Amino acid sequence: MKRVSQLTALAMALGLACASSWAADMTQAITFHQLMQKNGIAIDTRPSAFYNGWPQSANGPSGHEPSALNLSASWLDAMSDEQIEAWIQQHHLSANTPVALYGSETAIQAVKNRLEKAGLNPVSTLTDALQDPARLQRLAHFEQLVYPQWLHELQQGNAVAAKPAGDWKVIEAAWGAPKRYLISHIPGAGYIDTNEVESEPLWNKVPDADLKAMLARHGLRHDTTVILYGRDVYAAARVAQILLYAGVKDVRLLDGGWQSWSDAGLPVERGMPAKVKPAPDFGVTIPAQPQLMIDTQQARGLLHRQDASLVSIRSWPEFIGATSGYSYIKPKGEIAGARWGHAGSDSTHMEDFHNPDGTMRSADDIAAMWKQWNILPDQQIAFYCGTGWRASETFMYARAMGWQNVSVYDGGWYEWSSDPKNPVARGERGPQSSL
């Protein structure tokens, strides 16, 4: 009997150990329904392209779990511990917030390690992630922000999601001669100098007749899908926004620009762009979408309205008048009554809209940032900056987000400040100043 008792005790001990191990595993695994019951937050550890809505496989799910945050494992090497902590605070997470990750096992583990190091513990795995297509959310027009592997597959003639309906072209956009383009560029890409679409003295859009000639010269019609990228994302966005104004129906950006292609290790080529057969006819009257570009009088009409926002995409020092942001723009200040839409640390950066890898920040984050300044999706929105580049980037993001009534105030601060009759604001102020 004593022997039986020892075996029984051993079995019971093993059973308790297994039960304890099972309980520990259960704290690390949770379903979406259980997470919602706990008022928890799901975190998508995949690259932003898949979070936004691009399927990872031909018949794979599209989008992310409801209200999920995006913290891609691919960003971690670029994020310090302080930046991880700032990300946690920015999204109002605390040590008591139930958090569940989904993605590949490797990605989950990498993100889990960093979050737990920052004080979130325990961090669970979402066991049924992406299994219910009906509940998934996505960027309204995710196809307008393409990612490198998609473009590479398109170039190889392989089947891809959201394939262009007809002819398509890849074009690099930058200011001036194609110096860096000549050294290395995406295979088959053309080149557009931004001087072809904007000109001095105010760097506004060129006249429509010149725009028409430029489009013909590059072989572009209204039904050509144009995929743009730049060493600076906002250079490509400036060209993209003007092409949409002209009437090109399908204009897309390579999310993250040239850097994303380079980071992906995809093929490159060097040398001059291939000769392009001019397009004999654009196919529609230019501009086909004049509402996408507004002038100073129209911009003035958007001020101090609840149903409209004139949105400054300039750094905070520019917005309060500490600097003009440009060597060639002397006046400092801001359009009185404009709402601050964020930008970056100075006139050449857009960190407020970017993930650590330079891709577009999540739509939820951007919308929340704008809401603080009474910039809302059902308003008539016009973005501006100094001369149009940064404003065009946010225009393209808002368009991808599904915001319907958006435009760019082409003249921006440069044109507004050139007329002393236009009201100007300076100094620290908050959202109430624009009401």
Which residues belong to the active site? 385
Which residue matches tokens 């072209």? 169
C-beta separation of 264 from 190 below 8 A: no
For the record, the structure tokens of 85 come out as: 């902590």
Report the Cα 36 to chain-centroid distance in Å: 27
In a 10 Å sphere around its CB, with 0-12 CB exposed, 13-18 middle and 19+ buried, how is residue 36 labelled?
middle
Contact 334, 321 (CB under 8 A): yes
3-state DSSP assignment of residue 147: coil
Is the alpha carbon torsion for 42, 47, 52, 58 positive or negative? negative
The vertex-26 CA angle with 74 and 79, nearest 5°, equals: 20
- Residue 316 phi/psi, 5-degree rounding, is -60, -45
DSSP 254: E
For residue 13, report the phi and psi dihedrals to the nearest 5 degrees. -65, -45
For 304, list phi and psi in degrees, rounded to 5.
Answer: 55, 40
Q: How far is CA 191 from CA 178, 356, 420, in A?
A: 7, 27, 38
* Neighbour-count burial of 321, counting CB atoms closer than 10 A to its CB (0-12 exposed, 13-18 middle, 19+ buried): middle
* Backbone CA torsion sign across 295, 297, 298, 299: positive
How many Å apart are CA 95 and CA 115, to the nearest integer?
10
User: What token pair was written down for 214?
Assistant: 């430029």
